[in-house]
A and B are shown apart, each in its own frame.
Chain A
Amino acid sequence: MDRRDFVKVGAGAAVGGLAIGFPATLAAKPATPNAIRVGLIGCGGRGTGAAVQALSTSADVKLVAMADAFADNVETSLATLRSPEREEWLGGSVDLRPRIDVPAERQFAGFDAYQRVLPLVDVVILATPPGFRPIHFEAAVAAGKQIFMEKPVATDAPGVRRVLAAAKIAQEKRLNVVVGLQRHYEKVYRKWVDCLQAGMIGDIVLGRVYWNSGGVWVRPRLPGQTEMEYQMRNWYYFNWLCGDHIVEQHIHNIDVANWVMAGHPVNAQGQGGRLVRTGKDHGEIFDHHFVEYEYPGGRRLLSQCRHMPDTMSRVSEAFHGTNGTAPKPGLIVSNTGKTLFEHDATGDPNPYQVEHDLLFAAIAAGEHRYADGELGAVATMTAIMGRMATYSGQVVSWEEAINSDLDLMPAAFAWNAPPPTVPNAEGRYPIPVPGVTRAY
């Protein structure tokens, strides 16, 4: 090869360049002895992201304890958090180490690891796979902790009911609860929904929401794994852990519809199945769902979500009113084609950071400002109701959905315990069959 392709311009030049403008690593302001103590429960990519955001707020915070079902997840997450080069490839980063104090004795693994974190912290981040959220949220509220929890907040109706009950107690205890439905903390959505609720296009009669994408990661079965460990690693494809992608991802868009419609649907019917993503490591979930929701007053919401590579991609929301349309977030046009509202989101703050900035500001001020628990539970239930409709092929009412006694969770949490669904001799799991499956 021609080595000159790779010649650098000389050490002096490189150093000079760095000095001129390359963003250097800045150290976060060190935590004081009185810092707000944060615990992370669920140390995957999203949990690690939430921890970075919590530690990047202007509040005096420190991360003091971490828990995950798997010890290696805790180690990987902590190594990422401690790395001063964490996002160096994005053009600089903040060194969070002055705000991290998680010695080995405060790193916990196993199904009950969350219980060890709670006594050590003021604020807890709940970011495990969603099936565990009701258990963790209940325990965090009982322990009187401030809470950031990721969406969805459950995978079945019994779980949603537990979250609703705990959310009520959190409110009585004046605990701040922020749920990671970050569109509520995103400027373009806030302004857009405000306009729609103020009647800019009259009465909303129809919504359309989409999460059509290529799908997510797969973690194939490894030799030596128990069935429980395999499902916990490859959790996206098992309903007790994930809820199916209509719940795990599409909740974001369905939640926007609830927001615009100012409430939840009264019923749902729809269809779905598995056409493309049908491998043994794809568990039991569908790869597409289409749901028609009915809201009070006969208003309709058409919801579609799909995980199929190389098909039309769209992750968005649109609404139609008597006097115009809102074709995408940040845009509203009249029936005559006149632009009524337009917001350029370039340069808007990162909503994932905003939700933590606001939560920690409230905590630092000793105020109770956020109570997202019910909103998160209702959005979760709406998405689950869609899954109930596509799995069953029936019209499912809100009452039937939220009162459903179908409990997806395992009877026991242990590495050798049987999960609620197990593969047959060919390594395949039972797949829901519309018209046959009892889905609620």
Chain B
Amino acid sequence: MHWPGAALVVLVLAADTLGAQPPGGRLTQRVSGTGIELTLVPIPGGTFRIGSPIEEKDRDDDEGPTRTVQVHSFWMTIHEITHDQFGPFRHRRLDSKEGSSAAIPFDADGVTRPSPPYEDPAHGMPKGDHPVVGMTRLAALRYAHWLSEKTGRLYRLPTEAEWEYACRAGGTTAFGFGDDPAVAPEHGWFDGNSGGTYHRVGLKAANRWGLYDLHGNVAEWVMDTYDPGAYAALPLRPPAVDPMLGDPTRGRGVVRGGAFDDPPARLRCAERFPEAAAWKRRDPQIPKSRWWNTDSPHVGFRLVSPARDQSVAEIAEYWRRVLGTTPRD
């Protein structure tokens, strides 16, 4: 399984003219009236083995048993979403009433936007083109919802399977770059080279499919709800197709890829981190904020978009199903 990455063609497409499964290249998604641009690369659909073999060093029990899983093609942002890219969703004044086209309604004043955080979710780390952090899984989903409405194209978090598939990029080693953590400094930010902070996105080497910072910098939300026994429950054959566990607005989420404060072992492709109550330990209110954690400055996200085009009605239906009756604040 590989993608012909040598012949990258930069495609700048209006959101509603993106074709399904282009043979190569990348997509620049401009977000009308905000100045935001997202760069995505195509991830070719295929099958892979999710999880790690029992002989893998530093493996945890929740990484197995391995199972063959099939995922459909999708686009993935090459970078973690940045503070700059999150800003127009977070602040109405930075957003505009422009949608992707006159045919697709966008109601900037009707968007459910983040409430003010109790403290800086980034704990004072730099903003701008650094990864945005400290949001809940629900907040990341609401950003994706906003972006979907704004662009007329479906954006969402990757599933756990999609994330791991993209991280492996066709390989079977512990890291996308092999099995040797000694070369990790070339590929990501972790406790040995980060200086205790996240860094501007895209400074380290990209993986085979053109994705940056999957290993380290900040851990990344996925759609799934954490279950240490998730893989044992997957069917052996035929392989599960695009599996996803749980309701992403409930339960304990999962983050992947490790972060700037993790040792290299936690940057492995198969490493799974359940959301922890400690991430909200200093939030004095109950209910605690549905938008922000007080203590997860190591958690951010990136987005995917299915290769198959979705109609505006399908996108609306998707978000109705995902977000449903979730309280708005």
Contact = CB atoms under 8 A, between A and B. Distances in A.
Interface of A: 1-2, 4-10, 12-14, 16-23, 44-46, 48-49, 51-52, 80, 85-92, 180, 182, 213-217, 309-310, 312-315, 346-347, 350, 352
B277 A13 contact: no
Given A1-B154, A13-B233, A14-B245, A87 B277 contact: yes
26 contacts: A1-B314, A1-B315, A2-B242, A2-B308, A5-B159, A5-B306, A6-B321, A9-B235, A10-B233, A13-B233, A13-B234, A14-B233, A16-B232, A45-B286, A45-B287, A48-B287, A49-B285, A87-B286, A88-B251, A89-B138, A90-B288, A213-B116, A215-B116, A347-B278, A352-B281, A352-B282
B112 to A, nearest CB: 15
Interface string B219-256: 00000001111101111000011111110011110000
Contact of B117 (A16, A88, A213): A213
A17 B275 contact: no
A80 B287 CA distance: 7
Contact of A314 (B124, B232, B235, B277): B124
B252 A91 contact: yes
Interface in B125-181: 127, 138, 154, 156, 159
A362 B8 CA distance: 69
A5 B230 contact: no
A87 B228 contact: no
> Which 5 interchain pairs have the tightest Cβ spacing?
A313-B120, A13-B233, A45-B285, A91-B252, A20-B229
A215 to B, nearest CB: 5
Nearest to A49: B286
Contact of B229 (A16, A52, A350): A16
* Among B122, B229, B245: residue with most chain A CB under 10 A: B229
Contacts of B250: 85, 88-89
B326 to A, nearest CB: 10
A4 B251 CA distance: 21
B303 to A, nearest CB: 13
Interface in B298-329: 306, 308, 310, 314-315, 317-318, 321-322
B318 A216 contact: no
B228 A20 contact: yes
B299 to A, nearest CB: 14
A90 B317 contact: no
Contacts of A180: 284
B227 A17 contact: yes
Nearest to A91: B252
Given A2-B306, A90-B280, A216-B116, A14 B252 contact: no
